[in-house]
Amino acid sequence: MENFIEIKDLHFSYINEMEEPPVKTEVLKGIDLSIKKGEFVAVLGHNGSGKSTLAKCINAINLPESGAVYVDGMDTIDEDNLLPIRQRVGMVFQNPDNQIVATIVEEDVAFALENMGVPPAEIRKRVDEALKTVGMYEYRMHAPHKLSGGQKQRVAIAGIIAMRPDCILLDEPTAMLDPHGRAEVMKTVKMLNSQGVTIVLITHYMEEAAQADRVVVIDGGEIIMDNVPKKIFSQVEVMKNLGLDVPQVTELAWELKKAGCDISTEIISEDECVEKLYEMLK
């Protein structure tokens, strides 16, 4: 499989112009990362680790200070690539209220397509398709502010998938939702991934990261771990030192192992845990 996103020695700093002299804060310190088409990558890191900044570098909101970011072979630094890149890489943010532009659900889903200059009949078709994909078709004539958080976030996702992107970046899409809304969004994300959409999910919830194909851990602007979820979460102590959690079941296995039980810590799902516990107790 070819690399859809290719990041090479990426450096990025925020410059605070309000101070005198301007204060420069280096957020990303040499990131090398490649993501293949169709992959589901979770990005972990505590607040201020640079994970959101990284996501904004991928769809050319932030431009690299040095190094380079390529999306589908296009360099983000080239201004002519701006719209094609944003069409290929959609981004969903944390607060659903702040990304809905229109006063009616279907108008909002159509927003990106209208910007892209898609003919009206085609917009209609794609909007209906996108709303059906996220299961919000019955709500197409509703006002967004009357929907629940999970529903709003699904509308926001529909607005992105209507562009038919190859990749969706989700920046803590579930952080402001209740457990029910979180489950709705994660189901949608997994379904999109199964249809071949590349997913980059930034999250604080380890149970969500455990569902990915690959987990990338960022700390202090550098990638410090990049592996399958099992290999990442089994290093419980390393994760805890980074200020990150592990899924509850992994922690349970780890505590049991510490107490002297013969159990692997490479457990990330409840079913696995039940199975291993059963074996151990047999």
Partner 1 sequence: MDLEEYTLIKDITIGQYFPGKSVIHKMDARIKIILTGVFIVMLFSADNLVGLGVGIAFTALIFLISRIPGKMLLKSLKPIVPIIIFTAVLNIFFIRTGDPYFEWRFIKITDEGVDTAVYMVVRILCLIAGTSLLTYTTSPIDLTDAIERLLSPLKKIKVPVHELAMMMTIALRFIPTLIEETDKIISAQKARGADMENGSLIDKAKALIPILIPLFVASFRHAEELALAMECRCYHGGEGRTRMKQLRLGILDLWGSLFCIAFLAGVIAVNHLI
Q: Which CB sits closer to partner 1, 99 or 203?
A: 99
Residue 111 found at the interface with partner 1 (CB under 8 A) = yes
Site for partner 1 in 52-71 (CB under 8 A): 59, 61
Positive or negative torsion for Cα 191, 194, 200, 201:
positive
Structure tokens at 229: 């979820």
Residue 149 found at the interface with partner 1 (CB under 8 A) = no
Among 43, 69, 118, 253, binds partner 1 (CB under 8 A): 118
Those residues with Cβ within 8 angstroms of residue 79's Cβ, 6 or more apart along the chain or in another chain: none
Among 44, 57, 110, 186, binds partner 1 (CB under 8 A): 110
Residue with tokens 């889903």: 109
Structure tokens at 238: 């390393």
Q: 162-191 mask for partner 1 (x: CB under 8 A)?
A: -x----------------------------
Q: Which CB sits closer to partner 1, 119 or 179?
A: 119
Rounded to an integer, what distance in angstroms lies between the CA atom of residue 84 and that of residue 72?
10
Rounded to an integer, what distance in angstroms lies between the CA atom of residue 72 and that of residue 255?
44
Residue 87 Cβ vs partner 1, minimum distance, rounded to whole Å: 6
Among 266, 197, 262, CA closest to 231: 266
Residue 32 found at the interface with partner 1 (CB under 8 A) = no
Half-sphere exposure of 47 (CA within 13 A, CB side): 1
Rounded to an integer, what distance in angstroms lies between the CA atom of residue 80 and that of residue 78?
6
Residue 23 found at the interface with partner 1 (CB under 8 A) = no
Residues that bind partner 1 (CB under 8 A): 59, 61, 83, 86-87, 90-91, 93, 95, 97-104, 106-107, 110-120, 123-124, 127, 143-145, 156, 159-160, 163
